[in-house]
Amino acid sequence: MPIDKSRRPKIVLTPEMTIGGGGGDLVAPPSSLNRTTVIKVGDKEIEINPDNVNVVKELGHGAYGIVELIQHQPSGINLAVKKIRASNLQDENRLLRDMDVLVKSRGCPNIVEFYGAIFWESDVYLFMEIMDSSLDKFYKLAYALVPDATTEIAIPEPVIGRIAGSVVSALHYLYTLKVIHRDVKPSNILINRTGVVKLCDFGISGYLVNSMAKTNEAGCKPYMAPERLRPRPQGYDIKSDVWSLGLTLFEIATGAFPYPHGNLFEQLKSIFQDPPPKLPPNRYSADFEDFIVKCLEKEYQNRPNYTQLLDLQFIRTYADADISEFAKKVLDSSPESCASAASTPTITPNNTTSSSSSSNGSTTTTSPTSAVPT
């Protein structure tokens, strides 16, 4: 006899529902069951359930789940939804961490906005805002516009500076929550055509104890700091994310990842034995060069923390830079990759734009995107 899926109950998760847990309050399903939940998108409240949304396209996928662009049929609003199957304890813990950070970060302008979630047929659906591109996709589009990247700068320094400031601000906000991201890389940084930059994907984030992370969760090894790559790491702090940020900025500034591809042994050998990467001479300002040098200091004790980074001249110079014109030019160069290529209408909330993962990582992404799983 066929199963009537419409009769299966859905557990509704809203951003206000938390329970106490070790290392911080964790979000958890409430005891009540329901088919629907009400979420607020911009200034509009909508009732949402799996029966009143259509999948427009897949935005990204990875070992952790998939991200889809969906349309809420009654309102025409488009959303990004991360669909995760919590099939084992590790997946469940990762899901709870991801949701926990999203809930606690509501209102942070540099962290992707979370609207709400439901649980249905063993899958958890996290509803989030749509951004136009992940940074790994964006910088490749930018380089495709430059005839010769060896003589021309594909991404102007003010754009990189604004991206850097946005990410550092997001990481600093997480630090105030005693959270470390642990997976900073281009595919986990999002941008839209108004020039807004946001951090996403908190599934392997961790809680700090006495400012140190005690667990060695998996992440994207090419972007890991040296102290995390040692055989028996003794604990590390938020400065490991500073290293990852330095590699990310170096990659978008040069168009290439600085370490050997495909061979983890050769990469580790290069990280530990070779001098840290430096920007090509005479292409960027001394302030940017200094920023990269400080981020890619091998001894983590000598790297700056977030407060110190925010006080560096490179960040201060471009804190208010308007990068919307450049972002729009790059995104419009490949409209099929962006939100405006979709044919369905949408309401655009809170600095997100739409009308309808990563190099060296495990995630495949297309844009528009939101928090793409890895």
Say how many C-beta atoms besides its own lie within 10 A of residue 222's C-beta.
23
Contact between residue 267 and residue 222 where contact means Cβ atoms under 8 Å apart: yes
Asked if 183 is an active-site residue, the reply is: yes
Residue 251 token pair: 């990659």
Distance between start and end Cα atoms, the chain: 37
Residue 317 token pair: 């110079």
Distances, alpha carbon 111 to alpha carbons 30, 85, 168, 176, 218, in Å: 25, 23, 11, 14, 22
Annotated binding-site ranges for ATP: 83
State which amino acid sits at residue 179: V
> What's the half-sphere exposure (Cβ side, CA atoms, 13 Å) at 364?
3
- Smallest CA-to-CA distance from 369 within 330, 339, 347 is with 339
Q: What Rg, from alpha-carbon coordinates, does the chain have? A: 20
Catalytic-labelled residue, pool 183, 201, 237, 241: 183
CA distance 369 to 365: 8
Alpha helices in the chain (DSSP H): 89-104, 135-144, 157-176, 226-229, 239-254, 264-273, 286-295, 306-310, 313-317, 324-332
SS3 content of the chain, % helix, strand, coil (to 5): 35, 20, 45
Annotated binding-site ranges: 83
Query: Catalytic residue positions?
Result: 183
